[in-house]
Amino acid sequence: MNTDISKKLFYRAKGLMPGGVNSPVRAFNAVGRTPLFIKSAEGSRIYDEDGNSLIDYVCSWGPGILGHSRPEVIKAVQKACEYGLSYGAPTKKESELAEMIISAVPAIEMLRMVSSGTEAVMSAVRAVRGFTGRDLIIKFTGCYHGHSDGLLVKSGSGLMTNAVPDSAGVPKGFTDNTLVADYNSKESVQALFDKYPDKIAGILVEPVAANMGVVPPEDGFLKFLRDITEKNGAMLIFDEVITGFRLSLGGACQYFGIRPDMVTLGKIVGGGMPLGVYGGRREIMECVSPLGRVYQAGTLSGNPIAVTAGIETLKILMDDTGIYDRIDKKASELEQALSSTGLVRVNRAGSLLSAFFTKEAVSDYKSAVLSDTAMYSKYFTHMLESGIYTAPSQFEAMFVSDAHTDEDIKITKEAIISFK
């Protein structure tokens, strides 16, 4: 495929932005290629500057559950723009979106809107620390919760892709209150509570880990986290930036039947516009300024354009919950095709899936990093040359949308089984 224009644009961008990108994984370092510069996207496809048309399974890293440029969302956003882009003042639309989220996610009794998943998680952790008066937070190796200093510890996503799980520039003191356990390891969590009795403010977890590739929770793991936090006066925070409105309308809370104390959202909730949400038990959220002493603020928080995109996206999901069965079925077909190659172990949760180039089961960071990333890179290139745009990293997820047609799935399956 011809990527001459992308190559020229990448050369120009590299002189302007670190690695030529505004988020590391986009640089394609892990797959040893020039990234495609995207010109437009519609439905299940993205179109690059060289005129290549590709079936897209990145879906902007998750927001695109409806596919790209869903007409109802675009029209509503265009209309909203006529009324101004941001006021820095409350609007009724924010209450409309908040009511929709609260009705879909009962664990959220009160919420605050911000502009990214990073902001949502950073703020949720601060609220939980403020509410409990405790400092220690447990996260899991290989999970990624955005780039706030205290959480850049043994992280997944782009840090794992670049094999640098801890970031430079984060003073040790900033991570002293971050404890790390192993995903799916009850023992590692129990050991931390035994070591730090009455000091742990909360556990922060991706209810389906999707930043070391997709790693679902083993049976009983989330229930264990719910029980041990309740027993120890700690809070359970579900980071649902990826799983929220993805696994079901009620996200992982509904999918697994677990009620955490706090939930963070991003991606789908903004319909592809910059919007994050943190929320949970009313008594925790009432600690947040201006009601309480946990400070958090944001110029563009809840801005009318992002909120409009979120409202329209959630309206479609709420009016047609059959979408979840449809995208799960499509993802299951891809899982079967991938497994039939005999080359990979596939992990899937609903419409989220990853193909690991390893013979062993992948249930945590240690088993995920055993994957053959060179083989993944070859697979990525094979798929790209076959017109399929999948995650440019072994340690990211594949996202299926409602815009992926049966024909798209057929083409994708053919590309998968032709990989040798």
User: Could you list the active site residues?
Assistant: 144, 239, 267
Nearer to ligand KE4, 158 or 304 (CB): 158
Q: Starting at the earlier edge strand, list the strands of the sheet with 352-356.
A: 345-349, 352-356, 398-399
Residue 71 burial by Cβ neighbours in a 10 Å radius (0-12, 13-18, 19+) = exposed
| DSSP, res 247 | T
- Of 193 and 238, CB closest to ligand KE4: 238
If you search the block for the tokens 């009511």, which residue do you land on?
Answer: 99
Do the beta carbons of residue 342 and residue 348 sit within 8 Å? no
**Looking at beta carbons only, is 240 or 337 nearer to ligand KE4?**
240
- Smallest gap, in angstroms, from Cβ of residue 274 to ligand KE4? 8
Q: Which residue is nearest to ligand KE4 (CB)?
A: 117
Q: By C-beta, is 3 or 118 nearer to ligand KE4?
A: 118
Shortest spacing between CB 144 and ligand KE4, in angstroms? 5
Which of 209, 201, 286 has the alpha carbon at shortest distance from 241? 209
Q: Which helix (H) or strand (E) holds 104?
A: helix 92-104
Q: Least CB distance from residue 61 to ligand KE4, whole Å?
A: 4
Q: Which amino acid is at 349?
A: A
Point out which residues bind ligand KE4 (CB under 6 A). 23, 25, 61, 116-118, 121, 144-146, 157-158, 206, 211, 239, 241-242, 266, 396
CB of 407 to ligand KE4, least distance (A): 27
Q: Is 214 exposed, middle or buried (0-12, 13-18, 19+ CB in 10 A)?
A: buried
Residues 6+ apart with CB under 8 A from 239: 117, 121, 143, 145, 204, 205, 206, 207, 264
Q: What is the DSSP string of 121-187?
A: HHHHHHHHHHHH---EEEEETT----S-GGG-SS--THHHHTT--S-TT--HHHHTTEEEE-TT-HH
Q: How far is the CB of 2 from ligand KE4 (least distance, A)?
A: 26
Compute the distance between CA of residue 99 and CA of residue 275 in angstroms, rounded to an integer.
Answer: 16
Distance in Å from the first CA to the final CA of the chain: 19
Closest approach of Cβ 356 to ligand KE4, in Å? 16
Q: Which of 117, 146, 75, 90 is nearest to 274 (CA)?
A: 117
Q: Please report how close the Cβ of residue 222 comes to ligand KE4 at its closest, in angstroms.
A: 15
Q: Residue 358: which H helix or E strand, with range?
A: none
* Residue whose CB is less far from ligand KE4, 59 or 409: 59
Residue 235 in contact with residue 202, Cβ under 8 Å? Answer: yes
Q: How far is the CB of 161 from ligand KE4 (least distance, A)?
A: 9
Closest C-alpha to 241, from 300, 325, 181, 157:
157
Tell me whether residue 33 or residue 145 sits nearer to ligand KE4 (CB atom).
145
As a whole number of angstroms, the distance between CA 406 and CA 49 comes to 26
**Edge-to-edge strand list for the sheet holding 262-265:** 110-114, 276-280, 262-265, 235-239, 200-205, 136-140, 178-181
Nearest to 355 by CA among 338, 370, 372: 338
